[in-house]
Amino acid sequence: MPIAFRYTRASAGLIITEGTNISPQGRGYAFTPGIYDDAQVEGWRQVTEAVHASGGRIFPQLWHVGRVSHPSLQPGGVLPVAPSAIWPEATSYTEAGFQPCVPPRALATAEIPEIVEQYRRATRNALAAGFDGVEIHAANGYLIEQFLRDSTNKRTDVYGGSRENRARLLLEVTQAVARVCGGERVGIRLSPVSPVNGAGVDSDPAGTYAYVVERLNAFGLAYIHIIEGVTQGQREVPGGFDFQNLRRSFKGLYIANNGYDLRLALEVRRLNLADLISFGRLYIANPDLVERLRIGARLNVPDRETFFGGGAAGYTDYPVLTSAERGAALL
C-alpha cells in the first residue's frame, strides 16, 4: 500500500472507510472489502495500524446492500434479499461490469435476527481489526433504508406498516452494535431525501427521519452522518427538507455530507449548521486534502472512470503535493 495512502489520509479527523460488506449475502458490488472472515480482519489490521501510527482514527462503514445486488455476487447464485420483493431500478457492479438488478426475495420474519447478528459479528471483527468504532450504513437505498422507507417496505409483519415498525431493523441493529463497542463509538449514515438505487423517497421523510433520530438518542451515539440532498447530486430537493431539525433533535454530533468544498464547509461551520463536514470524492482524489485546503493549494480532480475497478488506479495513485507546489501555494 503506497505511503500516500498509509499516512497522508490519516490527517483527517476521522476516516470512514468505503462500504464494507458485513456478510457474503450483503455484497452488491465486486471488488469491495468485507469484514466477515479472519483474512479480512487481518488485512484491515494492517490499515488501522498504519492510520494509528500517523495519529489518525478510522471507522469501517458496515454495509448490507439488500436488493441492490446480483445473483453472481451472492453465495450459490441465489436472489438478493429485501424487505419486500420489489424490483429496483438500479444496477449492481459485478466482475463483468454493471448489470441490472434482479427482483429480490423478501426476507421471512424469522430470518431478520440473522441480519442483526451479521452486524453484531462485523462489529466484533472491526474491533479485532483495530478500528476505533463503526459506522452503520443506513443510507443510499441499501438494506436498512429499504426497511425504513414505505416506498420499498410493503411488509405486513412487525417490520412493516407504521414508521415505528419500519424503523425496527435500524434500531435493533444499532442496539446490537452499541452493545458490542459502546454507543460512543458508533455513528449512523442517513440519506433522508436521496432517491438513489431505485429507492423512492418515503411518503413522509420529515416524520420518518425525525422519529428515527429521536429514537437513536437512547443509544448515546457518537454522530449521525447526513447526506444533505441527493447523493452525489443536487443539495436542494423539491419540497425542501429541514436537516437542521434532525440536528436539533439529535444529542450527538451532526456530520454534514454532499457536495462540500472549502467555501461551503467554512460557511456552514460559521453559521453553526453542522459540527463536522465530511468529504468523499475530494478525499479520494486528494490524499493530502487537509493540507491542500489549509494552504489553498490546487486540488486533484476525481476520475469517475476509476471509481469502480478493484485495483490501485483511482484509489492509491493520486499524487500528494510536491515541495514546489506547496511552496507556490504559500506565496
Is the predicted pLDDT of residue 23 greater than 60, yes or no? yes
Please, what is the average pLDDT of the chain? 94
State the DSSP H helix or E strand holding residue 225, giving kind and residue range, or none if neither. Answer: strand 223-227
pLDDT at 98: 93
Which residue has cell 468485507?
34
Per DSSP, the three-state class of 254 is strand
Residue 274 half-sphere exposure toward CB, CA atoms < 13 A: 22
The arithmetic mean of pLDDT across residues 250-274, rounded, is 96
Q: pTM of the full predicted structure? A: 0.95
For residue 31, what pLDDT band results from cuts at 50, 70 and 90?
Answer: very high
- Between CA 109 and CA 159 the distance in angstroms is 8
**Where are the chain's structural domains?**
13-36+50-279
Is the predicted pLDDT of residue 237 greater than 80, yes or no? no
pLDDT tens per residue, range 127-151: 999 999 999 999 999 999 999 999 9
Q: How far are the Cα atoms of 61, 78, 121, 223, 309 from residue 314, in angstroms, in the given order?
A: 20, 31, 31, 29, 8
Pick the CATH number of 13-36+50-279 from 1.10.287.70, 3.40.190.10, 3.20.20.70, 3.30.360.10: 3.20.20.70
Residues 6+ apart with CB under 8 A from 81: 25, 66, 67, 104, 105, 106, 107, 111, 143
pLDDT tens per residue, range 267-290: 999 999 999 999 999 999 999 999
Exactly one of 7, 36, 142, 209 is catalytic; name it: 142
Which long-range contacts does 33-41 make (Cβ < 8 Å, 24+ apart)? 35/60, 35/62, 35/122, 35/125, 35/126, 35/129, 36/118, 36/121, 36/122, 36/125, 40/125, 40/129, 41/125, 41/128, 41/129
142 is catalytic: yes
Which one of 89-98, 122-131, 280-289 scores highest in mean pLDDT?
122-131
Q: How far are the Cα atoms of 4, 52, 258 from residue 318, in angstroms, in the given order?
A: 8, 22, 21
The arithmetic mean of pLDDT across residues 38-67, rounded, is 96
